[in-house]
């Protein structure tokens, strides 16, 4: 997984009819950086990821990956450029096994033609072998080997979340967009997730834009924190500075006695 240039969002805005979801959001994720994107429910965090990954088309603003603009790219082309993502609820194929779900993520690395696949030519066999090897490495990385042949629908929720996480890794991305990967996990699973995030950063060199509600995890792991509130940027900085900011506390907890009216 090679490093790539920064992922950069400039003055991003998004509206559905008369409802403004995002308004002037700017952020940047550098190589190997872990940027946490936080804010109360409904702040627009997932909408930012949906715009970056091409699911939503922003009303205004621009998105860059290195020198390349992604603002109007299709989702599959964005994935091919090296941007992977997870979803809040996994979005897996429930009747398929764990290993089959991960193999789906390898589509960006398959360049064989339909006729070659029909005759199962040597280059097709080589591509399939390479993909299976990559998937097995990811399963080992996140300790999922024992579940490789289990149907996803038969697995506990926490394991399903981890499968979604592993599927994004199987793409061999340069940037990972993580949408609340710890939601619904127990304490041990969260500790495991924290370990995987650190390994992804330091061993694989993958940059991450990470939506998270567990502020202790954010304080422990993030390099920087960006805060959204009602679709607008509130503040950005080091975790200790941001999490102590009275306006951030107000956004999460309500009025703060030290803030001016």
pLDDT digit string, tens, across residues 69-82: 999 999 999 999 99
Q: Which helix (H) or strand (E) holds 20?
A: strand 19-29
Whole-angstrom Cα distance, residue 207 to residue 188?
24
**Domain definitions of the chain by residue range:** 1-82+173-261, 93-171
pLDDT (0 to 100) of residue 215: 94
Taking the model in full, what pTM does it have? Answer: 0.91
Report pLDDT digits (tens) over 216-257.
999 999 999 999 999 999 999 999 999 999 999 998 876 544
The pLDDT of residue 107 is 80
Q: What is the pLDDT of residues 140-182, one digit of tens each?
A: 999 999 999 999 999 999 999 999 999 999 999 999 999 999 9
Phi, psi for 175 (deg, rounded to 5)? -135, 135
Closest CA to 49 of 7, 101, 107, 106: 7
Q: Copy the structure tokens of residue 165.
A: 């996480």
DSSP single-letter state for residue 84: E
- Give the residue-averaged pLDDT of 187-205: 94
Domain 1-82+173-261 has CATH 3.40.50.300: yes
């Amino acid at each position: 997984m090679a490093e790539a240039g920064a992922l950069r969002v400039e003055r991003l805005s998004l509206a559905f009819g008369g409802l403004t979801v995002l308004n002037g959001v700017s952020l940047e994720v550098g190589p190997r950086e872990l940027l946490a994107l936080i804010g109360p429910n409904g702040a627009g965090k997932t909408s930012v990821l949906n715009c970056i990954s091409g699911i939503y088309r922003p009303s205004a603003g621009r998105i860059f990956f290195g020198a390349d603009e992604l603002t109007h790219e299709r989702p599959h082309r964005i994935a091919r450029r090296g941007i992977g993502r997870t979803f809040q609820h996994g979005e897996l194929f429930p009747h398929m096994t764990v290993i089959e779900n991960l193999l789906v993520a390898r589509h960006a690395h398959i360049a064989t033609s339909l006729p070659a696949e029909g005759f199962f030519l040597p280059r097709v066999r080589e591509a399939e072998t390479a993909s299976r090897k990559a998937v097995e490495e990811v399963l080992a990385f996140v300790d999922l080997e024992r579940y490789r042949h289990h149907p996803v629908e038969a697995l506990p929720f926490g394991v399903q979340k981890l499968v979604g996480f592993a599927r994004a890794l199987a793409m061999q991305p340069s940037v990972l967009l993580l949408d609340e990967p710890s939601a619904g996990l127990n304490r041990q699973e969260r500790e495991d997730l924290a370990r995987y995030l650190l390994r992804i950063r330091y061993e694989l060199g993958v940059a991450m834009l990470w939506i998270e509600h567990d502020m202790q995890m954010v304080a422990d792991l993030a390099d920087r924190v960006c805060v959204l509130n009602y679709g607008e940027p509130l503040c950005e900085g080091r975790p200790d500075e941001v999490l102590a900011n009275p306006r951030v506390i107000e956004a999460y907890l309500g009025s703060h006695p030290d803030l001016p009216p």
